[in-house]
Amino acid sequence: QRTIYPLSSLRSLEKLLIRQLPSLFHDNSIFDSLESLTKLKYILFEHNQLKEIPLLRSKSIDDIDLGSNLLEHIGPYAFSHLPALRQ
């Protein structure tokens, strides 16, 4: 994982804001680590040149901002494992 600090060790994190760091999204490991952050409520991944959103898993995330990316594909079930997500 190419992160500054392993996300899985930030168990009390409630907000995750990542702007203009596309190198962190070279694979899906950052998305996979969201499930271990049980207090995480909000993620903002703007200006990261994201082209697709993989399947996200989290019981606590209720708000997501993916603004200003290059989204070409969002899987049909990308958000289906986010029961707290506001619609």
pLDDT of residue 1: 43
pLDDT of residue 5: 67
Distance, CA of 50 to CA of 66 (rounded, Å)? 8
pLDDT digits (tens, 9 = 90+) for 6-51: 888 888 999 999 999 998 888 888 999 999 999 999 999 999 999 9
Residue 4's pLDDT band, with cuts at 50, 70 and 90, is low
Distances (CA, A) of 43 to 16, 17, 63: 5, 6, 7
